[in-house]
């Protein structure tokens, strides 16, 4: 009978326990990085939506202020369903109202596609020396994120120009 006297050499490689610890640590790092990327992307998207709403608000304030101030005749239609505002001489007046969630001027959308206007309220205020003023209130929300909302109120006085001869 032959006896085999081979010497055992130490095995190279990782033990099962070391492999499991490595897999668990790698998984935890992967989950942390994935969560961080998700938070950053969501934050960036939300920031863009807020910027869009803010830009729409600034555009509307400028549009309505300038038109009211310089537009001439003002006609308000105030009913339970919807307010409308007509500014300017008959035949070339600008009519503002909500259509399909958008604020329109003469039927043309003046708000962003990403913004829904939920309220457009116009009230007349009497001022000093019968100076006509309007209080315009608008509420908006983002179409993608209904939680992103904004509302604003502006009071604009009509400009009266007197020419003395």
**Digit-coded pLDDT (tens) for 45-96:** 888 888 888 999 999 999 888 888 877 777 777 666 677 888 877 778 888 8
Measure the CA–CA gap between 120 and 140, rounded to whole angstroms. 9
Q: Calculate mean pLDDT across residues 18-27.
A: 95
Place of tokens 């307010």: 83
Find out whether 136 and 117 touch, Cβ atoms under 8 Å. no
Digit-coded pLDDT (tens) for 101-141: 889 999 899 988 889 998 888 888 765 555 578 888 899 99
- What pLDDT sits at residue 3? 62
Measure the CA–CA gap between 132 and 156, rounded to whole angstroms. 9
pTM of the model: 0.66
């Amino acid at each position: 009978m032959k006896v085999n006297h081979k010497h055992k050499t130490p095995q190279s490689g990782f033990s099962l326990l070391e492999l499991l610890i490595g897999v668990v640590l790698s998984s935890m790092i992967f989950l942390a990085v994935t969560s961080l990327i998700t938070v950053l992307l969501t934050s960036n998207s939300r920031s863009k939506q807020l910027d869009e709403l803010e830009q729409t608000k600034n555009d509307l304030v400028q549009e309505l202020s300038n038109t009211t101030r310089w537009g001439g005749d003002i006609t308000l239609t105030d009913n339970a369903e919807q307010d409308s505002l007509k500014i300017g001489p008959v035949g070339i007046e600008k009519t503002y109202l909500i259509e399909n969630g958008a604020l329109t001027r003469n039927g043309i959308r003046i708000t962003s596609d990403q913004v829904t206007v939920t309220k457009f309220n116009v009230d007349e205020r009497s001022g000093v020396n019968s100076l006509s003023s309007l209080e315009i209130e608008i509420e908006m929300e983002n179409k993608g994120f209904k939680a992103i909302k904004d509302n604003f109120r502006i009071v604009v006085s009509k400009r009266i120009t007197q020419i003395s001869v």
